[in-house]
């Protein structure tokens, strides 16, 4: 293949160039060249850590702020209910669960569609070893 930028025929598949840029030391540690860092495959979204973090933030925020924000509800028994610890924990846990399910589903959907397409494009990409231009086959 010929590079569209410089006309060189010194081209290589991005996946192969990336693999060749990784070096393993005698003690098992791996290092990657700066050129290899530019060729890294697209990363998938975390299906666990980010959703768990968002759920924890939602739990704390709901537990702390919901009774204050719900003060517009005029009836006294609703106010007493919302100020009880049991109700705050229940509402906070449900809100956190909702956020956890939504964000996990969103990450899984991204990984099965968008990330799969990004990986296909990465695997079809070619890099010029002379000028560093990346292009599709």
43, 75, 109, 135 from 114: Cα distances, Å: 11, 48, 8, 19
First to last CA, the chain: 8
26, 49, 95, 134 from 20: Cα distances, Å: 17, 31, 47, 16
Contact residues for 45 (Cβ-Cβ < 8 A; gap 6+): 107, 110, 111, 115
Percent of the chain topping pLDDT 70? 88
Structure tokens at 123: 């695997």
- 54-111 confidence digits (pLDDT tens): 899 988 887 777 666 556 566 676 667 766 777 778 888 898 999 999 999 988 998 8
């Amino acid at each position: 293949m010929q590079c569209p930028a410089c006309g060189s025929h010194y081209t290589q598949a991005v996946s192969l160039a990336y693999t060749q840029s990784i070096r393993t030391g005698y003690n098992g540690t791996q290092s990657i060249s700066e050129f290899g860092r530019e060729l890294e495959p697209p990363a998938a979204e975390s299906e666990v850590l980010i959703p768990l973090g968002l759920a924890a933030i939602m739990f704390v925020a709901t537990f702390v702020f919901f009774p204050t924000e719900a003060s517009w509800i005029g009836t006294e028994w609703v106010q007493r209910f919302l100020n009880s610890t049991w109700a705050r924990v229940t509402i906070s846990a449900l809100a956190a669960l909702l956020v956890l399910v939504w964000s996990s589903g969103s990450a899984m959907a991204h990984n099965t569609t968008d990330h799969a397409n990004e990986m296909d494009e990465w695997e079809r990409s070619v890099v010029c070893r002379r000028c560093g231009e990346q292009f599709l086959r």
